């Protein structure tokens, strides 16, 4: 290989390494910022503070409640009989959701709550593998408490299973574990035990995975989040459930 070619290859590899390092630094900075934000407002109660000043006057009211996956959920166009409010917050665990349940859901006096959450609990398993059983148990207990709180307030609950993971990118794989997939299955199996009068399970994964282990590529925005097409597919399954619920 000529010397000039070797230099070009070396420079190219160095450039790729620098770009990769900058990307990882950016990702680490984002995680650090989010961790700091949680310390300032652990439950995220400031996020919807302005909206709480004016309660909706007309119903029936449908509230989407959960983490970023709930926040990104497009309002079903066919659910026109509902007034729809979204109370999703990115990066939140079920423990944080439980802390703000009263402020962001119960006080709205909703007719129906679409409850989605849990992945932010389970994605910590690679960082705390010895605590996997406790992480799963806490996630299940928190979701059960949220369901119970909504039912006590008279709301019908559409309990959404935790979405499966999409294709994990190379930069995330060193900090990932297949145990997350196993934990998703464990929690989803538990959610089925919560179904009773006033609590309906919406199993999102047959729609998103089409029988495979990962979310189908057209439905992926990234390995944790859905594209608009993914939410459109979910809404096709959600709307018949909403129409069948009492108002």
Whether 108 and 145 map to the same domain: the answer is yes
Residues 29 and 76 in one domain: no
Query: What are the distances in angstroms from CA 8 to CA 2, 5, 15, 22?
Result: 10, 5, 10, 21
Statement to judge: residues 90 and 5 lie in one domain: no
Is 23 in the same domain as 108? Answer: no
Q: What is the pLDDT of residues 59-91, one digit of tens each?
A: 799 999 999 999 999 999 876 689 999 999 999
Domain check: are 28 and 51 in the same one?
Answer: no
Instruction: Work out the widest C-alpha separation in the chain, in whole angstroms.
Output: 77
71 and 138, same domain (yes or no): yes
Pair 51, 31 in one domain: no
pTM for the structure as a whole: 0.86
Pair 4, 79 in one domain: no
72 phi, psi to nearest 5 deg: -85, 0
CA–CA distance, 64 with 67 (Å, rounded to integer) = 10
Reported as a single tens digit per residue, the pLDDT across 16-43 is 556 545 544 554 445 445 545 566 888 9
Mark whether 92 and 17 lie in a shared domain: no
Q: Are residues 165 and 70 in the same domain?
A: yes
Q: Which domain holds residue 101?
A: 43-244
Residues 76 and 182 placed together within one structural domain of the fold: yes
User: Could you tell me if 28 and 47 lie in one domain?
Assistant: no
The CATH number of the domain holding residue 64 is 3.40.50.1110
Per-residue pLDDT of the chain (247 residues; tens, 9 = 90+): 565 665 565 556 556 556 545 544 554 445 445 545 566 888 999 999 998 888 777 779 999 999 999 999 999 987 668 999 999 999 999 999 999 999 999 999 999 999 999 999 999 999 999 999 999 999 999 999 999 999 999 999 999 999 999 999 998 999 999 999 999 999 999 999 999 999 999 999 999 998 888 999 999 999 999 999 999 999 999 999 999 998 7
Q: What is the number of domains present in the chain?
A: 2
Could you tell me if 201 and 188 are in contact, meaning their C-beta atoms sit under 8 angstroms apart? no
């Amino acid at each position: 290989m000529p010397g000039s070619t070797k230099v070009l290859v070396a420079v190219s590899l160095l450039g790729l390494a620098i770009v990769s390092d900058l990307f990882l630094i950016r990702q680490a900075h984002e995680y650090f910022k989010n961790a700091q934000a949680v310390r300032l407002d652990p439950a995220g109660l400031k996020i919807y503070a302005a909206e709480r000043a004016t309660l909706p006057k007309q119903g029936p009211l449908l509230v989407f409640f959960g983490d970023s996956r709930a926040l990104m959920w497009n309002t079903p166009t066919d659910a026109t009989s509902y007034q729809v409010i979204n109370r999703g917050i990115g990066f939140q665990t079920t423990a944080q959701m439980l802390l703000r349940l009263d402020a962001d859901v119960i006080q709205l006096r909703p007719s129906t709550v679409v409850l989605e959450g849990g992945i932010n609990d389970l994605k910590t398993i690679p960082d705390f593998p010895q605590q996997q059983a406790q992480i799963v148990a806490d996630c299940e207990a928190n979701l059960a408490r949220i369901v119970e709180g909504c039912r006590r307030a008279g709301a019908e609950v559409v309990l959404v299973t935790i979405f499966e993971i999409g294709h994990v990118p190379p930069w995330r794989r060193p900090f990932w574990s297949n145990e997350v997939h196993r934990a998703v299955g464990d929690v989803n199996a538990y959610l089925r035990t919560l179904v009773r009068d006033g609590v309906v399970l919406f199993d999102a994964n047959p729609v998103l995975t089409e029988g495979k282990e990962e979310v189908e590529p057209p439905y992926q925005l990234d390995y944790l989040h859905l594209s608009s097409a993914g939410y459109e597919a979910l809404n096709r399954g959600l709307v018949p459930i909403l129409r069948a619920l009492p108002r």
